[in-house]
Amino acid sequence: MRKSLIAFLRKLKEILVNTFHQYNKRLPYIITLLLALFIVVGGVNLFIELTDTLTTDTLAEYDRVITDYVISYRDPLLTKYFRFVTEVGDLYGYIVVFGIVVIIAGIIYKRWGYVSRIAFVLIMASVSNVILKRFVDRARPGIEHLVSVETLSYPSGHAMSAMAFYGFVMFLFYRFKMNHFLKFLIIFLLGILILSIGLSRIYLGVHFPSDVVGGYLAGFIWVVFCVLVFDIIEIFRRDPST
């Protein structure tokens, strides 16, 4: 993505020079940042449009059928697994995983900027989830809850934060220079973890499947936006022609 951004900035710079002859050299970066903001706003609008289907009978039927299918597999062993997974997608789980990321990204690879970026992504995803929950104001499913919950239902905070946090960690590991097999294994396991956290919320009876899908969508929007913005900021520090 960074190479594509550099190519785009070079082209934009060329167009601005030919058009205005004299211009602020930072203007291409500012325009690109505004385009990134436009992308995330457009993504949020798409997300809001999708929430309009929450009250339809068709979606309600899909939610019911999928939920009934998932909870039909309830047994003590799976319940322990999904309770553990849902804790990994909660506050204390993120504290532990963030500590591991600090060791790997900060201490081993000396990329402390990555640590601050991960923290920013998680905080912004959590804050925006609270705002979205209040905006939609959807109640939790009326079935048995295997864990206690206090907040509203849509979108799933666990699914949204998992996609944003672990999705961004996957992206950073993709950039690390390390053994290819180990890199693939870590990315694969993080992908399984993201899916498991979302599935756990349905299994435990605290979310509709559409809550989880909405959370994944919102979290993915954050990942794409943050990757784009962080790359632009990094490129901003130097002339893209270098």
The 10s digit of each residue's pLDDT in 94-108 is 888 888 888 887 787
pLDDT for residue 23 is more than 50:
no
Residue 155: cis peptide before it, omega within 30 degrees of 0: yes
Structure tokens at 113: 């900027």
pTM to 2 decimal places: 0.77
Tens-place pLDDT, residues 199-226? 999 999 889 898 898 899 888 888 888 8
Which pLDDT does position 242 carry in this prediction? Answer: 43
pLDDT for residue 13 is more than 70:
no
Helix (H) or strand (E) holding 8: helix 2-20
pLDDT band at 239 (very low <50, low <70, confident <90, very high): low
With beta carbons less than 8 A apart as the criterion, state whether 203 and 83 touch.
Answer: no
With beta carbons less than 8 A apart as the criterion, state whether 210 and 89 touch.
Answer: no
DSSP state of 52: G
Residues 76-88, mean pLDDT to the nearest whole number: 92
With beta carbons less than 8 A apart as the criterion, state whether 137 and 63 touch.
Answer: no
* C-alpha distances out from residue 26 to 160, 176, 228, Å: 34, 29, 17
CA gap 92, 84 in Å, rounded: 11
- b/e per residue 19-36 (b: at least 16 CB within 10 A): eeeeeeeeebbeebbeeb
pLDDT for residue 65 is more than 90:
yes
pLDDT for residue 25 is more than 60:
no
Share of the chain above pLDDT 70, in %: 74
Tens-place pLDDT, residues 136-184? 778 788 888 888 887 777 888 899 989 999 998 888 888 777 788 888 8
* C-alpha distances out from residue 42 to 49, 116, 162, 220, Å: 10, 26, 22, 13
The more confidently predicted of residues 188 and 235 is 188
CA gap 236, 242 in Å, rounded: 12
